[in-house]
């Protein structure tokens, strides 16, 4: 008997390690692959792009906010892996009628390491999980040392345009900003909207335009630059700031190159 509490503190019990997995979160799909669970994954979302070949070999069950319940049921999964931020409670509740749904809630590097350990226990991949935890922990400590003498910059992290939306507090992105000594100028929770006047009056040193979920480009950089002054605007890799799981190992190297541009 395997007993595991997900990160919403829900207790799940399994007679044996689940063999048929549906993943509703791109970064968690990548982690499952890196833990050696490619053959066990039977369903993924259309946004699960790492590794890219999975989109050709696995059943696509929709997106993260809209899923095809019939397709998922037909896959006869033993477990569904979801996330509190990516998937709505209504989706999780309905999917729970099919099989257990493990819901993660990642707001820090420590939460991420706990998720990896949980997956290792659940899927009998303890050694693989231990190796990933070790590699990420070493890189995390190294990056913290790298940041020791870096100045604090007040920043806004844009995730959407039309309307403009930024990453607020109580998010994984906020944790990544703090790790980079970027003081989040948005003290509201989640992902609030901001108008041009609010952005202009935010008195930030830095504006970061994410590559996802909205594909910001040079035209957006030029547009925002028209109503901000003395503010450095940089387009950044959204996966490095918002993807957890095994992806964070690559993020630390990316962050180092980012600081070279500042």
Same domain, 18 and 41: yes
Percent of the chain with pLDDT over 70: 100
In a domain, 148, yes or no: no
Please, which residues bridge with residue 236 across strands? 210
Write down the pLDDT at residue 113.
98
Domain of residue 212 covers 153-260
pLDDT band at 26 (very low <50, low <70, confident <90, very high): very high
How far is the C-alpha of 178 from the C-alpha of 244, rounded, in Å?
A: 15
What are the backbone angles phi and psi of residue 224, rounded to the nearest 5°? -65, -30
In a domain, 146, yes or no: no
189/127 same-domain check? no
Among 140, 168, 187, give the residue marking a domain's end: 140
For the chain, the domain total comes to: 2
> 140, 168, 197 — which closes off a domain?
140
Residues 6+ apart with CB under 8 A from 97: none
> Are residues 134 and 7 both part of a single domain?
yes
Least confident of 17-26, 118-127, 195-204: 195-204
Q: Tell me the per-residue pLDDT of 105-145, one tens digit each, with 9 for 90 and over.
A: 999 999 999 999 999 999 999 999 999 999 999 999 999 99
Whose CA is closest to 199, among 185, 210, 212, 188?
A: 185
Domain stop point among 113, 140, 167: 140
**One domain, residues 92 and 187:** no
Q: Which residues contact 228 (CB under 8 A, 6 or more apart)?
A: 199, 200, 207
> By the 8 A CB rule, do 259 and 233 touch?
no
Spatial distance between the Cα atoms of 209 and 215, rounded to a whole number of angstroms: 9
| Contact call for residues 49 and 30 (beta carbons, < 8 A) | no
Question: How many angstroms separate the CA atoms of 144 and 180, rounded?
Answer: 9
Q: Residue 241 falls within a domain, yes or no?
A: yes
Q: Look at residue 101 and tell me if it is in a domain.
A: yes
Residue-level pLDDT at 262: 87
Q: At 133, phi and psi to the nearest 5?
A: -60, -40
- Find, among 184, 185, 208, the residue nearest to 198 by Cα: 185
Q: What is the 3-state secondary structure (H, E, C) of the chain?
A: CEEEECCCCCEEEECCCCCCEEECCHHHHHHHHHCCCHHHEEEECCCCCCCCCHHHHCEECECCCCECHHHHHHCCCCEEEEECCCCCHHHHHHHCCCCCEEEECCCCHHHHHHHHHHHHHHCCCHHHHHHHHHHHHHHHHHHHHHCCCCCCEEEEEEEECCCCEECCECCHHHHHHHHCCEEECCCCECCCECCHHHHHCCCCCEEEEECCCCCCCHHHHHHHHHCCCCCEEEEECHHHHHCCHHHHHHHHHHHHHHHHCC
Q: Is residue 119 part of a domain?
A: yes
Residues 17 and 132 in one domain: yes
Are residues 18 and 55 located together in one domain of the fold?
Answer: yes
Both 18 and 129 in one domain: the answer is yes
- Please report which confidence band the pLDDT of residue 236 belongs to, taking 50, 70 and 90 as the band edges: very high
Same-domain status, 120 and 165? no
Same domain, yes or no, for 59 and 28?
A: yes
Q: What CA–CA distance (Å, rounded) separates 225 from 229?
A: 7
CATH number at residue 30: 3.40.50.1980
pLDDT level of residue 261 (50, 70, 90 thresholds): confident
CA angle at 153 for the pair 149 and 156, rounded to the nearest 5°: 145
- The reported pTM is 0.96
Domain presence at residue 124: yes
Do residue 134 and residue 8 come from a single domain? yes
121 plus 28 within the same structural domain: yes
CA–CA distance, 235 with 252 (Å, rounded to integer): 17
Same domain as 34, residue 6: yes
Question: Does any domain span residue 49?
Answer: yes
Q: Is 160 inside a domain boundary?
A: yes
């Amino acid at each position: 008997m395997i007993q595991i509490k997900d990160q919403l503190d829900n207790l799940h019990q399994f007679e044996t390690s689940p063999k048929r997995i549906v993943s509703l979160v791109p970064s968690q799909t990548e982690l499952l692959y890196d833990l050696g669970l490619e053959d066990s994954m039977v369903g993924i979302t259309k946004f699960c792009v790492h590794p890219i070949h999975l989109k050709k070999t696995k059943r696509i069950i929709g997106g993260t906010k809209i899923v095809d319940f019939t397709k998922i049921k037909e896959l006869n999964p033993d477990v569904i892996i979801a996330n509190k931020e990516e998937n709505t409670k209504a989706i999780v509740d309905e999917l729970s009628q099919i099989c257990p749904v493990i819901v993660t809630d990642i707001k820090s590097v420590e939460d991420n390491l706990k998720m990896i350990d949980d997956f290792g226990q659940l899927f009998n991949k303890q050694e693989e999980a231990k190796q990933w935890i070790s590699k990420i922990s070493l890189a995390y400590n190294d990056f913290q040392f790298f940041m020791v003498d870096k100045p604090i910059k007040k920043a806004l992290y844009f995730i959407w345009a039309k309307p403009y939306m930024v990453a607020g507090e109580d998010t994984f992105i906020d944790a990544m900003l703090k790790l980079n000594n970027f003081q989040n100028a948005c003290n509201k929770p989640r992902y609030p909207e901001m108008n041009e006047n609010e952005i202009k009056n935010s008195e930030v040193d830095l504006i970061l335009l994410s590559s996802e979920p909205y594909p910001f480009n040079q035209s957006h950089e030029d547009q925002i630059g028209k109503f901000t002054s003395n503010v450095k605007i940089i387009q950044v890799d959204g996966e490095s700031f918002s993807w957890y799981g095994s992806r964070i190992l690559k993020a630390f190297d990316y962050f180092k190159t980012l600081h070279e541009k500042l």
